[in-house]
Amino acid sequence: MPRVSVLIPSYNHARYLPAALESVFAQTYTDYEIVVVDDGSTDDSVAVLQSYGERIRLFVQPNRGTYPTLNRCIAESRGEYLAILNSDDLWAPTKLEKQVALLDLHPEVGLVHTGGYFIDGEGNIQPGNPLGFEWPRTPTGNIIEALVRCNKIIASSVLIRRACFEKLGGFREDLFGSGDWEMWFRVALDYDIGYIDEPLTMYRVHGSNASFQHRRVYEDDVKVRTETIHANEARLWRRANSLQAMRLALAHSYACLGTEYALLGDRKRARQAYLRSLQLYPLRFKSLLRWGLTWLPIKPPL
């Protein structure tokens, strides 16, 4: 039985699949299986994958979306540790070796992610922040306040214990692009999070990334904040590293929720969220300013 299952959800990335798979074959840690679920690709992805024969375990399904496909990957896998690799991303050769060592040494850690960098379609490093944010970095430990604020973990950088899914359930299948954040948040409520500060993951940025489909991302983020983060506020106060840190994180989250509602055209809920942010942190002047802007006749930029 393999110790690690590499989970590759595949969809219309025939061009990038060989490089993704070669980055797995090049790993210095070799006790793994590769589970690929093709999610109804319309390009040559299935033919490319079939060419690898028994080197991978391939499953093909009609198109269902990212998170149902990841859950199928989990269901078909056999490893104690599960590593996610999106079919257009890459790994450095020592990634799995270093992550397995950290999880073996720290049973309190539920998942470990890594540093990395953004690359373009040709594999060249992209300077700056092509997706509008820096590569997320966290300390190893309880990072719950960071995940209240925003997603701090790149999916392709994750190695996670199967036990996390067995205890908490899988990815929410109704979400479009924020299901990984929702999952990592649930893990962080019960486990510490590990981080390896080395560039071991390469995230490919191109025009079809889900991150560019703004309205669906805003709708997803509203669901994550209202149905998972703020629905668990009682647990968050108990999990907090400090009450002040949690107060600031929740104030930030409500402010983000207000902006997301505003961008979706729901000004009433936007005002309510901004006011809740101000109740938690009255000196958060940006929340006050944005609350005021919701009264102006400005059309949301969607």
Report the pLDDT averaged over residues 166-174.
98
- 242-277: pLDDT as tens digits: 999 999 999 999 999 999 999 999 999 999 999 999
- 110-147: pLDDT as tens digits: 999 999 999 999 999 998 888 888 999 999 999 999 99
Inform me whether the pLDDT recorded for 300 exceeds 50.
no
Q: Residue 89 and residue 78: Cα distance in Å, rounded?
A: 22
Q: Residue 165 and residue 125: Cα distance in Å, rounded?
A: 33
Q: Based on C-alpha coordinates, what's the Rg of the chain? A: 20
Residue-level pLDDT at 223 = 98
Residue-level pLDDT at 285 = 81
- The amino acid occupying position 206 is H
Inform me whether the pLDDT recorded for 211 exceeds 70.
no
The residues spanned by each domain of the chain are 4-208, 215-293
- Alpha helix stretches (DSSP H) within 33-191: 45-50, 66-76, 95-105, 144-149, 162-168, 179-190
Within the chain, how many helices (H) and strands (E) appear?
A: 12, 8
- The amino acid occupying position 235 is R
- 176-200: pLDDT as tens digits: 999 999 999 999 999 999 999 999 9
Confidence category of residue 299, pLDDT binned at 50, 70, 90: low
| Ranges 31-35, 267-271, 282-286: which has the least confidence | 282-286
- 227-242: pLDDT as tens digits: 999 999 999 999 999 9
Distance (Å) of CA 35 to CA 18, 47, 58, 245, 287:
15, 16, 6, 40, 45
Q: What is the mean pLDDT of the chain?
A: 94
Label the pairing between strands 81-84 and 90-91.
Answer: unpaired
In the chain, helix, strand, coil percent, each to 5? Answer: 45, 20, 35
Residue-level pLDDT at 302 = 42
Residue-level pLDDT at 213 = 63
243's enclosing H/E stretch is: helix 243-263
Distance (Å) of CA 168 to CA 80, 172, 183, 185:
15, 11, 9, 11
Residue 249: count of CB within 10 angstroms of its CB:
23
In the DSSP assignment, the letter for residue 38 is: E
The answer to whether 177 and 216 are in contact (CB under 8 A) is yes
The highest-level CATH class for domain 4-208 is alpha beta
Q: Residue 184 and residue 189: Cα distance in Å, rounded?
A: 9
Report the pLDDT averaged over residues 102-115.
98
Inform me whether the pLDDT recorded for 86 exceeds 80.
yes
Higher pLDDT, 129 or 301: 129
Residue-level pLDDT at 298 = 63
Q: Which CATH architecture has domain 215-293?
A: Alpha Horseshoe (1.25)
Residue-level pLDDT at 208 = 57
In the DSSP assignment, the letter for residue 224 is: I
In the DSSP assignment, the letter for residue 177 is: S
Q: Residue 263 and residue 299: Cα distance in Å, rounded?
A: 8
pTM: 0.93
Confidence category of residue 286, pLDDT binned at 50, 70, 90: confident
